Structure 1
Amino acid sequence: MSEKNRDGKRTARERLAVEREKQKTADKRRRTLIVGASVVCVLGLAAVIGVIAANAGKEKGSSAGPVVAPSGAQGKDSLAIPVGKDGAKSTLTVWEDFRCPACMGFEIRYRPTLHELEDAGKLRIEYHLVRLIDGNLGGSGSLRAANAAACAQDAGKFRDYHDVLYGNQPQETDDAFADNDKLIRLAGKVKGLDTPAFRKCVKDGAHDSWVNKSHKAMQAARFSSTPTVLLDGKNIYQDQTLTPAKLKQMVEQAHQG
């Protein structure tokens, strides 16, 4: 064998040895990445499990205790807070969440008409308070605000406080209503509401179990979004042509018989 051929074979072996070493290094790096990724996935799963467990614990804790309906609550299981006169010929049933931006949109747009019809004795509204956003985004602001509103109902101040809460609604992702002190400060905007009895009711979560029961009733009724608005049992908010004027017309026609 010539010297030239031997040198060529030696060079080829050396190149092959270098390639094999590169491959070993690449394989080792890939195994390290796979193991690392697996650890991250496990840790991520553990974190998710931890969050779920924590939220489940909060839910369980907030459901503890007897179901105490607010004063004057009506309907099945006393889950509806009525606003307006009992003799009104039309009843508007509203399922709402105080953290829900769409609920605020409904309230801001329709509030003048609703108040006008309520005060005229032509419309009675039954409010069902739920905590849909708590379940979707986490937190407890929907529950805390609903409990505070139920406490306001005990004091005969529901409508005014209800409107204050929507007038001061935080961003959907901001769980600001989870702070009882904030809810109490907002009560200062309603004359005569910020009393020791109201503060105790809010801080004790006196109506938490009632709110949770109301939320379960919404699920049982298979309503999946808020606001859900029914006029005499008919879901009217799904109607894209609905306006405050159209709602007023329907109520006026019912009132006239």
Structure 2
Amino acid sequence: MSEKNQEGKRAARDRLIQQREQVRARERRRRTLIVSAAVVGILGLAAVVGVIAANTGGKGDKDKASGPAVAPSGATGKDSLTIPVGADDAPSTLTVWEDFRCPVCAQFENAFRDTIHQMEQSGQLKVEYHFATLIDGNLGGSGSLKAANAAACAQDVGKFPAYHDVLYSNQPPESDDAFGDNSKLIELSKKVEGLDTPAFRSCVDDGAHDAWVEKSNTAFENGGFQGTPTALLNGESIFPKKGDEPITVANLKKWVAEANKGKKPGTATPAPSGS
């Protein structure tokens, strides 16, 4: 066997080993990181697992977005990569990095949604949402990208909070790239009053904000974050814990109250609609 063939086989074997190690690392994160879910009444706290491992750099099967990065209406922050929800002058800010295909993101959102919305509405908290497309890169497909684009399209017409919640409440299994089908995203928009319009459909079908989503994902990759969801309260990580305390509904309320002590609440905004 020629030396060139031997080197080729060694390179292939090394790539296979690296891929297996990435899978093992991902599963270790799933087993070891937990987040406490919100509950009603006396049911107590239910554990939900893991943080999805960060993208290894692959783009999966999705087409690379082209053209200028068109930010949705009302986007703020560096390079207009932030979608804000809540009073601009709220004393505390929760920064969230999410992937719409990420199951742990859905667990986080579904567990803490009501509490976060209550604090938004009362002016205690502003939430700044950022998007990543890790699952597209890890598993292939385009659902992370297309769902984030659709959410940005909803932001254009002031329907982001409700549509964001609808996407997470109706998230398909991680391996099912249902969000890669624009018709599914448009179908779900019917759950938000007034969102399913020709303008919204065109925005979704045209991928109007695809390049913006890709730019957001690049910012995530360059940010040194461990995975999605990443949640920072006033710049300090709180997922899956803050210091020695795990994130729970009670602890989140406590942390915000401590951060806001002596400060006036911001101008309250209406609670998000839709279901």
Indicate conservation of the 8 Å contact 2:95/2:234, yes or no.
Answer: yes
Q: Following the alignment from structure 1 to structure 2, what is the Cα–Cα distance between the partners of residues 142 and 233? A: 25
Q: Give 1:127 deviation, angstroms.
A: 0.3
Q: 1:26: which partner in 2?
A: none
Q: 1:213 to 1:190 in 2, by over 3 A?
A: same
Q: Does the C-alpha gap of structure 1 residues 162 and 56 become closer, same or farther in structure 2, counting only changes over 3 Å?
A: closer
- Measured in 2, the distance between the counterparts of 1:62 and 1:85 equals 35
Within the alignment, does 1:237 sit opposite 2:242 as a pair?
no
Query: Which structure 1 segments of 5+ residues have no match?
Result: 1-37, 46-54
Q: Which residue of 1 aligns with 2:78?
A: 76
Name the Cα RMSD after superposition. Answer: 1.8
- The structure richer in helix per residue is 1
- Equivalent position of 1:252 in the other structure: 257
Contact 2:59-2:137 at 8 Å conserved across structures: no
- Check whether the contact 1:88–1:255 (CA below 8 A) recurs between aligned residues: no
Q: Is the 8 Å Cα contact of residues 82 and 129 (structure 2) preserved in structure 1?
A: yes
What percent of counterpart residues are identical? Answer: 62
Q: Does 1:190 align with 2:192?
A: yes
Count of residue pairs the alignment pairs up: 205
2:92/2:260 contact within 8 Å kept: yes
- Please give the residue correspondences for 1:207-226 in structure 2 after superposition, counting only pairs within 5 Å: 207-226=209-228
Give 1:171 deviation, angstroms.
0.2
Larger Rg belongs to? 1
Distance 2:246 2:97 in 1: 20
Q: Is the 8 A contact 1:131 1:142 kept in 2?
A: yes
Query: Deviation of residue 140 (structure 1)?
Result: 0.2
Runs of 4+ more than 6 Å apart: none
Q: Does 1 or 2 have the higher relative contact order (CA < 8 Å, sep 6+)? A: 2
Q: TM-score, normalised by structure 1?
A: 0.76
The TM-score normalised by the length of structure 2 is: 0.72
Q: Which has the higher strand share?
A: 2
1:56 deviation in Å? 5.8
3-state SS of the aligned residue for 2:191? coil
Where 1:171 maps in the other structure, the secondary structure is coil
For the pair 1:123 / 2:128, whether they are aligned, the reply is no
